[in-house]
Amino acid sequence: MLAAGRIEGHRVDEESVLTGLSLAKELLSPKKLGRHADGKQGLSRLGYEAQECEAVGMVLEQGEKLGLELYEDVAANAFLVFPGKDRHKPVLLMGSHLDSVKQGGLYDGTTGVVVPLAAIKALQEEGAVPPQDVAVAIWRCEESPNFKQFGVGSGMATAALPTSVLEKTNLKGVSLKDSLVQAYSSSKGRHDADLLFLEERLKARDPILPVGHIAHAVEFHIEQADTLRRNDKSLGIVSAIRGNVRFPSVEFFGKSQHTGGGFQGDRQDASLMLGAFMGQVMSQAEKIGAKKDLVHSFPLIGQPNDNSTTTPNYVAVAFEARSVDAKALDKMASTVEAAANNAVAKHGGEVTVGPMNRTEPVFMDVSVQKLLRGHARRLGLSTYDMVSGAGHDIMRLQNAGVASALVLMRHSGKSHNPMEDLCLQKDPFVPDSDVGAAVRLAASFMMKPGASSRTREGSFTKELCENRAREIFGERHSFFPSLVA
């Protein structure tokens, strides 16, 4: 069964892919991870809440059946490790998240945990052992709604978040600190020490994840839009994840009056200011968008007056632009400020522009993209080079210095929605479906990840890794067991 394709990556037997896919099907079924999804209501599996803990438990249980080594870090992220031939080689890291937004879908995140597990199952089926360990991560609380914070688990593991994140409270008013204690699955009585350790690491901006011992990281994820469907491709290889500028609140204050009264030149409708503002912002966005990558929207517009014969004295709007080009984001940020002032200068009244949030674009590792494209080509899979408009856990890894890539899977575009679906085929769990393609790509990559421009083999000594693992995981959490043995 260890076929000839082995030299150029690894072509998993069709039968074995099918076995892997049956595991994916079972994990995504209403008996398992689909248990919390409910028809029109969708899935509301919020980060660090009981449902997420239960979902992590279900996957770990499955991992145990597969004979994988199971670990949990002090941010309650879970890791399922498939031991490779040489356990001292840098690890290949895959995985994604199991939490969802409120009334979201089953497949955002979940697919990225299930696909590599299905690939491991397929490899085991043919007795194939990868040259290095493969770790499947379950990052906790990727979605923002519960703590108003994106990528909490991966952000703490890579020390990208400040210590103050532990004080953030969720929708029920419970702090992240307390949620973490509830989420720790094992080892009673060590919670205080764990929290203290996490706090120290965050303060020192020192990742709890032994990033120096990770060769590459790859995240599989459903696409948030429908670019792949439109281009009739199964898988997207992402070159960059868009950054954004977000103005949660731009408020216009004008004067109320009868819609039929007065002279037009004297009118101070807040809505006139809003119109002028939006017009200027949109025309600038369209101008930039004609030359550079840019998407923009006004996600929120509100005014308290519901009387259609009275002009509003107050209107609030939110604005967001996303781009892989930092200069395009700079330009949009300054346009919003200028357009707000121009609108007020033209129509009178006042404007308050609330604080802007900004995240920078993240560029994925070029060499890992190239390796993935090579594997896909050899397997005869159709891929598409694209940018991603949504944030993902994998950004944290790339920002922490791990050579990382993001692979998107074809999708209808109904994401963060109860209507979210897996892909467009009638049966997604057959070898020639998009999920089948993802499983084959993952399996091939596990067997021959190749060397990236940032592979750290040799840059970290075994001793250093040993000490680091002991320091980080103590006796109970040795992420790389061979190193602490």
Binding site for Zn ion (CB under 5 A): 108-109
Q: How far is the CB of 396 from Zn ion (least distance, A)?
A: 13
Q: Which is nearer to Zn ion, 108 or 133 (CB)?
A: 108
Residue 359 CB, nearest approach to Zn ion (Å): 16
Q: How far is the CB of 110 from Zn ion (least distance, A)?
A: 9
**Looking at beta carbons only, is 103 or 342 nearer to Zn ion?**
103
Q: Which is nearer to Zn ion, 49 or 108 (CB)?
A: 108
Q: How far is the CB of 221 from Zn ion (least distance, A)?
A: 6
The distance of closest approach from Cβ of residue 394 to Zn ion in the complex, given in angstroms and rounded to an integer, is 10
CB nearer to Zn ion: give 222 or 272: 222
CB closer to Zn ion, 125 vs 420: 420
Give Cβ neighbours of residue 199 (< 8 Å, ≥ 6 apart): 163, 166
Cβ proximity of 478 and 484 under 8 Å: yes
> Long-range contacts of range 15-18, CB-CB < 8 Å, 24 or more positions apart?
15/125, 16/122, 16/123, 16/125, 16/126, 17/122, 17/431, 17/436, 17/439, 17/440, 17/443, 18/430, 18/431
Shortest distance, CB of residue 242 to Zn ion, whole angstroms? 15
Contacts for 188 with CB less than 8 Å, ≥ 6 apart:
none
Extended beta strands in 140-227, E state = 214-222
By beta-carbon proximity to Zn ion, the closer residue of 194 and 393 is: 393
Residue nearest Zn ion, Cβ-based: 109
In the complex, what is the shortest distance from the CB of residue 246 to Zn ion, in angstroms, rounded to a whole number?
18
Q: What is the spatial distance between Cα 357 and Cα 124, in angstroms, rounded to a whole number?
A: 46
Residue keyed to tokens 């409120």: 102
Using CA atoms, how far apart are residues 194 and 75, in angstroms rounded to an integer? 9
Give the nearer residue to Zn ion in terms of CB position, either 9 or 155.
155
CB of residue 144 vs Zn ion: minimum separation in angstroms?
A: 11
Pick between residue 108 and residue 125 the one whose CB is nearest to Zn ion.
108
| Angle (nearest 5°) at CA 254 between 251 and 255 | 150
Reading the block at residue 109, the tokens are 């995140």
Q: What is the DSSP letter of 159?
A: T
- Which DSSP helix (H) or strand (E) runs through 362? strand 362-363
Q: How far is the CB of 228 from Zn ion (least distance, A)?
A: 16
- Residue 204 CB-density burial (10 A; 0-12 exposed, 13-18 middle, 19+ buried): exposed
Give which of 154, 178, 149, 180 is closest to 165, Cα–Cα.
149
Task: Report the DSSP beta bridge partners of residue 387.
Answer: 240
Nearest to 63 by CA among 188, 185, 155, 222: 185
Rank residues 395 and 400 by Cβ distance to Zn ion and give the closer one: 395
Which residue lies nearer to Zn ion by CB, 72 or 108? 108
Among positive and negative, which fits the CA dihedral 120, 126, 130, 133?
Answer: positive
Residues 390 and 392: their CA atoms lie apart, in Å, by 7
In the complex, what is the shortest distance from the CB of residue 109 to Zn ion, in angstroms, rounded to a whole number?
A: 4
Q: Which pair of tokens denotes residue 362?
A: 């993240």
